[in-house]
Amino acid sequence: MSDIIGASPPRVGGPERVSGSLEYVADIRFRDVLHVKLVTLDVARARIGSIDTAPALEVPGVVAVITPADLPDPMPRFGPQLRDRPVLATGETKYHGEPVAAVAAETPEAAARAAALVQVEHEPLQDGVFTVEAALDPTSPLVLDPSIRATGDPLATSNVFAEHRFGWGDVESAQADHVVDEIYTFPMVTQFAIEPHAFVAAPGEGGGIEVWSSVQHPFLLQKTLGQIFDLPLSRVRVHAPDPGGGFGGKQNPKYEALVAFIALRCNRPARLVLSLGETFQTVRRASARIRLRNGYKRDGSLVFSEFETDFLIGAYVDIADRVTGKSNYLAAGPYRLPNVAIVARALLSHTTPSTAMRGFGAPQLGWARESNLDQAARELGIDPLQIRLINLARPGEQFVPDETPADGKWEQALRRTAELIDWGAPLPEGRGRGIAVGLKSGPTTGLSYSTVRLLADGSSLVFAGTSDMGQGARTIFAQIVAEELGVPLDRITVVMGDTARVPYDQQTSASRSSVLMGNAIYRACQEIKTQLAALVATKHEVDAGTVIVENGAVIVPDGRVTPIPEAIAAALGRLGGEIIGNGEMRYEGDPSHPLGGRALFFELHCAACEVEVDLETGEIEVKKYVTVGDVGKALNPLQVAGQDEGAAVMGLGHTLMEQMILDPSGRILNMGAVDYRILTHMDVPEVMVSDSIENADGPGPYGIKGVSEGGLLATAPAVGAAVTDATGIVVRDLPITPERIWSALRDR
């Protein structure tokens, strides 16, 4: 077996991170840069009148104040699904924090002071849409002007952006012995990357633009800016340094266009770094209200599943309708179900536009689905592990019609989880246990290119457009090259994050990079091997077919074995040079499919935990937490564990303590780190165990699937079930705070 694949060599980019030398966007020094500060209002909805920039312009050091009057007319709009988001708000602000103007100054202090002095005449508007109920109410004001919606869209005069219907079988006539019909809610939470978003733009070569952004999808940003500024892609250069955490919140363009307008107008680089509070106004996860009616046979097997899901997506669509559709398509989970009916609505609201967030809607659905299963298990007197084993799809089973079949031995992950939590063993008084299964689909289309260069001295450069935001992409890419070409890891440099230097990569999302970019790199290596074989064959005057390149070595017909890095110098000959390999993985998808394509793979991930509840105060402590993922192959087990446990801790956040709180006018009350709580070191469960099921059954190199999102798909229902087990009370709304538990105990 390899000592690289499946080993845990140190993170590529690790030394830079521990020495403090890694430059995130906000650390890069730009000569002659202007500092930008957004001008926003302290309400969610307001009609905008005149904007008086004079007081701001008087502040020493202020160079410009940009208002809609300084931007093209009509206002440029952008968005990955719908070009709805204006560069600056016009007419009306749609959410708390939507920028109405921006200041550019010589120092951040001057910009901040001036931004506070810009006088925006505005009239706060009543009756904003901040809840699912308000969004569904036909008398509520419209969030998006119908003229911006797609032509002929019958929903355009409502706040329902889209309605997705999926299903099979016949739920109406299905006969069940037992029905569980409940409503579950999932709060608004935010990504809270420790690096706030940062954007820099500068006039580029030949009238183009050069941008630095903490963005996860540099090529999508490049395309968006090309469209807004009517520039060819070749004149838009995006630098995407490794982000300090993304979690989906840095996937799609946000303020790059605004900063670029400023840079072009002032003919200087312009820099905007958000405050932590501003990130709450910029990105979040879709909150949800899910009504789930499941029908079961007496033995616990599922007969039907009926979902009515409402995702509150925010003021602009961003990628949130995709989140709604994609996650709800698999709402029924990894189970065998003869009858399913899903109606899922993406609802607009006067709140921070939601975007992708780790799990892409699956955590919300998992909360509802797994909680429903647990309730059925209790009411039918069936063990919660058993009820899942009964229903779990088997390998290769078509658990959703016309979809990728179950691509793993999922039962193995579930049994391993049960084993690690000691399922069934007696528990001390006051403690409870829960177990749950999460499912998410990987990408449904994809495209990644890679170029690998094997240099004359046997070292290698790898070019990949993936974003390494902590999941360790650079490392596994280097591992693949090390494995395939025999180049030592410390002689490989991975180049990422620059659209001018690396070939196209569609995006870094859906845990896709190990498979899509992994395969692209793998194939680039195979191309190198083929070329190398040909060169060696020529040198030895034999047929190319008789030269073998494998296991990092070249084997010639006479039996001599030479490691590749040594063989190349001779192979290249007198003139030297290099061998260049290009690889591509293209996953075309299927336009006739409801999601545009079948899942490339699934992330199936199980969670189990043991909790202790203080019955007087409601305080809850997670004593032990287990997370097991069906990963195909863990190329770097330590990195996988870090991602899985990290995701679990993030999951404990939305389970136990995270929620964005709005006042009646839609203002976010708890922006920032004080009143929005994420877990600290001291909140991590005493015992955390993670494991991976590796059956090499994934579509990536060495059988890898995708990881990084699985760890938080089943956290909430596992904890919820454990709380019920410990106390008898059932919570259907997150977060499960001590107050919620106390309230439920009191009402019992």
Task: Look up tokens 């680089």; give the residue.
Answer: 269
Q: Is 58 a catalytic residue?
A: no
Give the E-state strand segments of 27-126 in sequence order. Answer: 34-39, 46-52, 62-66, 77-78, 85-86, 92-93, 101-105, 119-124
How far, in Å, are 165, 355, 375, 457, 601 from residue 324 at the CA level? 11, 10, 25, 50, 19
Three state DSSP letters for 515-531: CHHHHHHHHHHHHHHHH
**Host H or E run for residue 421:** none
Set 98, 483, 658, 709: catalytic member: 709
Task: Look up tokens 């989970």; give the residue.
Answer: 333
The C-alpha angle 197, 200, 204, rounded to 5 degrees, equals: 150
Nearer to another protein, 277 or 563 (CB): 277
Rounded least distance, CB 376 to another protein, Å: 30
* Residue 44 near residue 666 (C-beta atoms within 8 A): yes
**Backbone φ/ψ region at 230: left (φ over 0), alpha (ψ -120 to 50), beta:** left
**Host H or E run for residue 494:** strand 492-495
* Residue 514 near residue 464 (C-beta atoms within 8 A): no
Which DSSP symbol is given to 700?
Answer: S
Strands 302-314 and 339-348 turn out to be parallel
> Phi/psi of residue 398, each to 5°?
-85, 80
Please enumerate in sequence order all residues whose Cβ is within 8 A of that of 422, keeping only pairs 6 or more positions apart, or say none. Answer: none
Virtual CA dihedral for 94, 98, 103, 109, nearest 10 degrees? 140
* Residue 30 near residue 202 (C-beta atoms within 8 A): yes
Nearer to another protein, 91 or 557 (CB): 91
Tokens read off for 26: 């906000």
Tokens read off for 383: 């063990």
> Phi/psi of residue 496, each to 5°?
-135, 175
* Residue 540 near residue 546 (C-beta atoms within 8 A): no
Rounded least distance, CB 122 to another protein, Å: 8
Nearer to another protein, 8 or 526 (CB): 8
Nearer to another protein, 79 or 735 (CB): 735
Strand order in the sheet with 431-441: 431-441, 602-613, 620-630, 687-693
Rounded least distance, CB 656 to another protein, Å: 7
How does DSSP assign 286-310, residue by residue?
A: PEEEEEEEEEE-TTS-EEEEEEEEE
Which DSSP symbol is given to 357?
Answer: -
* Residue 203 near residue 264 (C-beta atoms within 8 A): yes
CB atoms within 10 A of CB 431: 17
Tokens read off for 336: 């065998």
Exposure class string for 553-586: b at 16+ Cβ within 10 A, else e? bbbbeeeeebbbbebbeebbeeeeeebbbebebe
> How far apart are the C-alpha atoms of 255 and 249, rounded to whole Å?
13
Nearer to another protein, 484 or 709 (CB): 709
Rounded least distance, CB 673 to another protein, Å: 4
Give the E-state strand segments of 572-729 in sequence order. Answer: 578-587, 602-613, 620-630, 687-693
* Residue 469 near residue 250 (C-beta atoms within 8 A): yes
* Residue 608 near residue 434 (C-beta atoms within 8 A): yes
Nearer to another protein, 574 or 681 (CB): 681
Rounded least distance, CB 275 to another protein, Å: 7
Work out the end-to-end distance of the chain between its first and last CA atoms, rounded to an integer number of angstroms. 57
Rounded least distance, CB 138 to another protein, Å: 31
Nearer to another protein, 8 or 227 (CB): 8
Rounded least distance, CB 248 to another protein, Å: 12
| Residues catalogued as catalytic | 709
